Structure 1
Amino acid sequence: MHFTSVQCVQGENFLFLVNNADDESSFTYEEKSGKGPRSWGEINPHWQACKNGTLQSPIDLLDQRVQVLSHLGRLNRDYKPAPATVKNRGHDITVMWKGEAGEIKINGTEYKLLQCHWHSPSEHTINGTRYELELHLVHKCSQGNLAVVSIVYKYGRPDRMLSKVRRQICGIDEQLFHHIKSVDPKQDKELGIVNPGDIKFGSSRKYYRYLGSLTVPPCTEGVIWTIVQKVRTVSKEQVRALREAVHDGFEANARPIQPLDGRPVYQYP
């Protein structure tokens, strides 16, 4: 199936995975544990795609592989403030919108924004470069198919979205990692109104696009990925906060690069 013809199709695995991995305590990112990425496809019979899939994510976005397609058009997003919660899912920190937080439009199909979460270091690499952090904004269309927008970060000035989440969690000005570590691994914590428009994409709107998968079990395929080319900045303290908060502590929560297996990768413009 050619990527540009991908439509919004029913996918029952997508529906239960939007907010949580199948069992967030049954897999890790540490290979020595026996539950690391190389073993994901063997832990659960429903996770076979992690081992045998041919459209797996993340990938290396290598210039020599990229095809420029100007007709893809600018990334159309229409986000708006909505009530949200934050949850420590064990393998990441996730902000989940409970109301209508807006959408993006791909090939004429609207994908509603559901949640965002962070991986450190970045899962996708650009010409072999792995960055300090990667944000995933997860969207779903009316039939259940997923589209994920990804932004990568290098060390520098603090990220505005993470700074606002910090203030909304505790409402006082302390170091970020104290706030995020206070999020109970078993409970959602109310954030009040969170504006996804605070997430900066960069003015150029240049991006990569390809057809891939979820990067956590069950690694379901058919996910439309959009990776923003602009590299944003995040502070070391903010990355440390996210790493300390999850069960893995200072261990990475990034899946290794997966084979491209002949897939096309597009770039706009």
Structure 2
Amino acid sequence: MKHSKIVTKFHSNLPILVTILLLSTKWTIAQEVEDELPFDYVEGSKKGPSHWGELKKEWKACKIGKMQSPIDISSDRLRLAPKLGRLKINYKAQNATLKNRGHDIEVKWLGNAGTIDINGVNFFLHQAHWHSPAEHTINGSKYDVELHMVHESAMINGKTQIAVVGVLYKFGQPDRLLEKLSKHIKSMVNTEAEKLMGVINPTEFLRRGNKYYKYIGSLTVPPCTEGVIWIINKKIGHVCKGQVALLRDAVHDHATMNNRPLQLHNGRFIQYYDPKKKT
């Protein structure tokens, strides 16, 4: 079986495997909400971003948190951090599902899809999803799509931590990954469907640029959990307008532009790693 192909034949025992995993796999910390009905992205709506922290007590961080995401990655907040080193990525091709969550399109891996190593700690990949327009900005520049690859560490001292790797995209040539997924996304327009996709290789999601930004923030959807490690790849990807239109058509009307507004830095600095810059 070649892992270079994003969709392959199912293993013979996949239905049993999927059932077990869907019933037993749970994140151990506050995770991104799966059901979007309690909130939306509509400006001025009573369920919009400015009111998320009032909708449920578990979501109060959305309103009172001081380390919220997304933010503008501005040059005056950057601190060169050569000791960060290159990202250590150890992903594995693994069975996955494609799901329309109503507020975004998600790829969820059903087994161990590998890890990234941050400061000697392994963070296990769980899922990836897209926001359009992009949520983070760089020196005020806005982008057209943002991919989030969501990871979680093992339990350490009774706690786990989330790490999100983000990739920004601007209009240009079609993205090869979205091209492969497009026919499946089209079948999910305005339906909260979930499809078994067979084996998907996570390395096809991640741009291989060595330069990146790192800061501590939060989830960008309720419950807006803080303490999230953000890794934003400096290398910008390309996506065509048709692919963005498809992502927007597939989700519900209130999420056609599913980007949370920028949040305050509140004194936070952003580490920047460039292998060519030592000081």
**Shorter-chain TM-score category?**
0.7 to 0.9
User: Which residue identity lines up with residue 36 of structure 1 in the other structure?
Assistant: G
Which one of the candidate residues 121, 140, 148 is aligned to 1:128? 140
User: Which residue identity lines up with residue 151 of structure 2 in the other structure?
Assistant: H
Q: Give distance in 1, aligned partners of 2:179 and 2:34.
A: 30
Which one of the candidate residues 239, 244, 248 is aligned to 1:243? 248
The answer as to 2:116 corresponding to 1:111 is no
User: Which residue identity lines up with residue 194 of structure 1 in the other structure?
Assistant: I
Matched with 2:232 is: 227
Q: Give distance in 2, aligned partners of 1:121 and 1:84.
A: 25
Structure 2 stretches lacking a partner, 5+ long: 1-25, 275-279
4+ residue stretches of structure 1 with deviation over 6 A? none
Which one of the candidate residues 21, 34, 45 is aligned to 2:33? 21
The answer as to 2:208 corresponding to 1:195 is no
Q: Give distance in 2, aligned partners of 1:90 and 1:66.
A: 35
Q: Give distance in 2, aligned partners of 1:223 and 1:193.
A: 28
Do the aligned residues in 1 keep the contact of 2:34 with 2:101 (CA within 8 Å)?
no
Deviations 1:51-104 (A, max 9, x none): 000000000000111000100000111112100001111110100000111110
* Aligned-pair Cα RMSD in Å: 1.8
Q: What's the CA shift for 1:33?
A: 2.3
User: Which residue identity lines up with residue 28 of structure 2 in the other structure?
Assistant: L
Using the aligned pairs only, state the percent identity: 48
Q: Give distance in 2, aligned partners of 1:17 and 1:29.
A: 21
Q: 1:131 to 1:75 in 2, by over 3 A?
A: same
Matched with 2:257 is: 252
2:170 aligns to what SS in structure 1? strand
Do the aligned residues in 1 keep the contact of 2:216 with 2:227 (CA within 8 Å)?
yes
Which one of the candidate residues 150, 161, 169 is aligned to 1:145? 161
Matched with 2:212 is: 207
Which one of the candidate residues 31, 50, 54 is aligned to 1:38? 50
Deviations 1:82-132 (A, max 9, x none): 000011111101000001111100000000110000000000000101100
User: Which residue identity lines up with residue 30 of structure 1 in the other structure?
Assistant: V
Q: What's the CA shift for 1:201?
A: 1.1
2:28 aligns to what SS in structure 1? helix
Matched with 1:4 is: none
Which one of the candidate residues 165, 177, 181 is aligned to 2:189? 181
The answer as to 2:70 corresponding to 1:62 is no
Q: What's the CA shift for 1:45?
A: 1.1
Q: 1:226 to 1:253 in 2, by over 3 A?
A: same
User: Which residue identity lines up with residue 186 of structure 2 in the other structure?
Assistant: H
